[in-house]
Amino acid sequence: MPRAEFDRLAPRYERGSRVMSLGRIVSWRRKAVAALSPRRGARYLDVGAGTGELTRAILGAEPRANVVALDASRRMLRAGRLDGLAHVTTRVADATTTGLGSRAFDGIVSGFMLRHLRGFDLFFREMARLLRPGAPLVLLEAHYPEGRFRRLLFQIYFFGFAWLLGALVTGTFRAHVGLYRSVKAFPGLPALEAAAGRHGFVRTGIERGAWTGFFLLVLAAPHPAARPWAPRRGGRVLKEGLLPAPRSSPWGSERRA
């Protein structure tokens, strides 16, 4: 979706997101921050931060964490009113060319930004550069749920009603047509995992909503102790709970995302 459409959407972006998801987006953001496990004094990046709801959730979990909220749209960041928050720095930049220092972050989180990228390789290359070895990369996205019946219901709801409802609530019809197209064109979890593997990331957890289409993918940044990794193919729907970290994970066998 063009940046200009995000600029138009900015003042009512969060309202539209909550209406379209029937409020479920809030609980999934909490899941993403729980997977990030923010620590006092550590430095985190919210990439594709938009109006900064994940940034606020990180500070809600750990008020003394330091967060850089990065987005390509200056108006989205301004709409979030993040500049006055303690421990928060805002930055206008592209997710694939952030201009930030190498190995500068203890964790990165991204919510509903990946489907707007033209391919994933440049993104994962940049994330691998920014993260300290073994640090978490938490990715929250939405796509078709697994199973024919669930997929059909998702198509009826999202492509039939939700995007139009969001357009009516926000008054930005063209922007929501772009959102509609981005969800439909998103290549899905297998392509995302394949790109992550090409850049040395190790999958440590995954959760898929049985009906909502939301999914949470937790990766560990390249680490000398991690074995070469191949993406999981197929797989089942995981309703509530993440897969345990593999023994090769630099976080250790007992940690859960």
Residues 77-106: tens digit of each pLDDT: 998 899 889 999 999 999 999 999 999 999
What is the domain partition of the chain in residue ranges?
A: 24-140+187-220
Residue with tokens 């297998």: 190
d(CA 103, CA 106): 8
Q: Let me know: does 175 contact 6? Beta carbons within 8 Å.
A: yes
Q: How, if at all, do strands 88-92 and 107-111 pair? A: unpaired
Name every residue whose Cβ is closer than 8 Å to that of residue 32 and which is 6 or more positions away in sequence. 54, 57, 109, 111, 138, 140, 216
Q: Given pLDDT bands bounded at 50, 70 and 90, which one contains residue 175? A: low
- 2-57 pLDDT, tens digit per residue, is 566 666 666 677 677 777 777 788 999 999 999 999 999 999 999 999 999 999 99
Q: Let me know: does 204 contact 255? Beta carbons within 8 Å.
A: yes
Reported pTM = 0.79
Domain 24-140+187-220 class, CATH top level:
alpha beta
Q: Given pLDDT bands bounded at 50, 70 and 90, which one contains residue 111? A: very high
CA atoms within 13 A of residue 54's CA, in its CB half-sphere: 34
- 219-253 pLDDT, tens digit per residue, is 999 987 655 444 444 333 333 333 333 333 333 32
Q: How far is CA 178 from CA 3, 20, 89, 184, 189, in A?
A: 11, 15, 29, 10, 20
| CA R_g for the chain | 17
Query: What percent of the chain stands above pLDDT 90?
Result: 48
Reading phi first (left if > 0) and then psi (alpha if -120 to 50, else beta), residue 134 is in: left
